[in-house]
Structure 1
Amino acid sequence: MPPVRRSPVRVLPLLLSVLLAGCGAPAPRDGAERDVRAAVADWSRMPPAELSGIPLEGWAYEVSAVRRDGAAATARAELRYRLSGYDAAAAGTAREVRLSRDGGRWHVTGDRPAPGALPQLWDQGPVAVVRGAHALVLGVGQQAGTLSEIAAEADRAVPAADAAWPGPWPGRAVVLVPGSLERMAELLGRPAAEYRGMGAVTTGRVGAAPAPADRVVVNPQGWGELSPAGRGVVLTHEVTHVATRAATTETTPQWLSEGFADWAAYRGTPATPEQAAPALARAVRRGEVPGELPRAQDFAFGGDPEALARAYEGAWLACRLIAGRWGEAALVDLYRRAGREPWPAAVRGALGMDPDALTKDWQEALRAEFR
Structure 2
Amino acid sequence: MAGRGRASGSGAVALVLLLVCLVGCGGKPAATTDRKDLQRVLDRRASAVMERDRTAFLKTGALSWFENLRGVPLASWSYRVTALHRSGDTATADVDLRYQVQGYDKAPVTAGRTLTLSREQDGQWYVDAEAPAEKSAQQLWDQGEVAVVRGAHSLVLGVGQTSEALHRYADLADRAVPAVTGAWGPDWAGHVVVLVPKSLDGMAGLLGSPASSYRGIAAVTTGEVGGAPNAPADRVIVNPDAYAVLGALGKQVVLTHETTHVATRAHTGAATPLWLSEGYADWVGYRGTGRTPEQAAPELARAVADEAVPEALPTDRDFGFSGDATKLAQAYEGGWLACRMIAGEWGEPKLGEFYRAVGDHKARAGSVEGALKKVLGTTLEEFTDAWRAYLRDQLG
TM-score of the aligned structures, taking structure 2 as reference length: 0.84
Match of 1:51 in 2: 69
| d(CA) in 1 for partners of 2:150, 2:103 | 11
**TM-superposition CA deviations, 1:215-246 (whole Å, max 9, x none):** 10000100111001100001100110010000
Structure 1 residue 261 corresponds to structure 2 residue 253: no
Q: Does 1:362 align with 2:365?
A: no
Bigger Cα displacement from structure 2, 297-306 vs 47-56: 47-56
Q: Which residue of 2 aligns with 1:90?
A: 108
| Bigger proportion of residues as helix | 2
Q: Give the aligned residue type for 1:347.
A: L
Amino acid at match of 2:359: G
Q: Does 1:126 align with 2:145?
A: yes
Structure-1 residue corresponding to 2:320: 300
Q: Once superposed, what is the RMSD of the aligned Cα atoms?
A: 1.6
Whole-Å separation in 2 of the counterparts to 1:86 and 1:350: 33
Residue 60 of structure 1 corresponds to 78
The one of 363, 369, 373 equivalent to 1:348 is 373
Q: Which has the larger radius of gyration?
A: 2
Measure how far apart 1:61 and its partner are: 0.6
Q: Deviations over 1:34-91 (max 9, x none)?
A: 3333222222224245422111122101112222223323332111111111112110
Cα distance in 1 for residues equivalent to 2:325 and 2:391: 20
**In the alignment, residue 229 of structure 1 is paired with which amino acid?**
L
> Does structure 1 residue 285 correspond to structure 2 residue 302?
no
1:152-209 Cα offsets, whole Å, 9 max, x none, are 1111111111111115110111111111111211211222122111110111122142
Partner Cα distance (1:328, 1:264) in 2: 10
Aligned residues: 346
Q: CA deviation at 1:102?
A: 2.5
Is contact 2:116-2:127 (8 Å) kept? Answer: yes
Partner in structure 1 of residue 128 of structure 2: 109
Deviation at 1:99? 2.8
Map 1:1-371 to 2 at 5 A. Answer: 27-29=28-30, 31-47=33-49, 48-106=66-124, 107-166=126-185, 168-209=187-228, 210-341=230-361, 342-371=367-396
- Verify the 8 A CA contact 2:68 2:141 in the aligned structure 1: no
Deviation at 1:108, TM superposition (A): 2.7
User: For 1:270 and 1:367, how far apart are their aligned partners in 2?
Assistant: 20
Question: AA paired with 1:345?
Answer: G
CA distance in 2 between partners of 1:203 and 1:46 (Å): 29
Conserved 8 A contact 2:276-2:339: yes
Question: Cα deviation per residue 1:239-283 (whole Å; 9 max; x = unaligned)?
Answer: 100100000011111101011000000111111111111111111
Distance (whole Å) between structure 2 residues aligned to residue 287 and residue 68 of structure 1: 67
The code of the aligned residue for 1:306 comes to T
Q: Percent of aligned pairs with the same residue? A: 51
2: CA distance, partners of 1:153 / 1:265: 12
Take 1:156 and 1:223, find their aligned partners in 2: how far apart are those partners? 17
* Structure 1 equivalent of residue 10 of structure 2: none
Quick check: 1:95–1:113 contact (8 Å CA) kept in 2?
yes
In 2: Cα distance, 1:313 partner to 1:330 partner? 20
Matched position secondary structure for 1:109: strand
Which moved further from structure 2: 168-177 or 205-214? Answer: 205-214
8 Å CA contact 1:199–1:222 kept in 2: the answer is yes
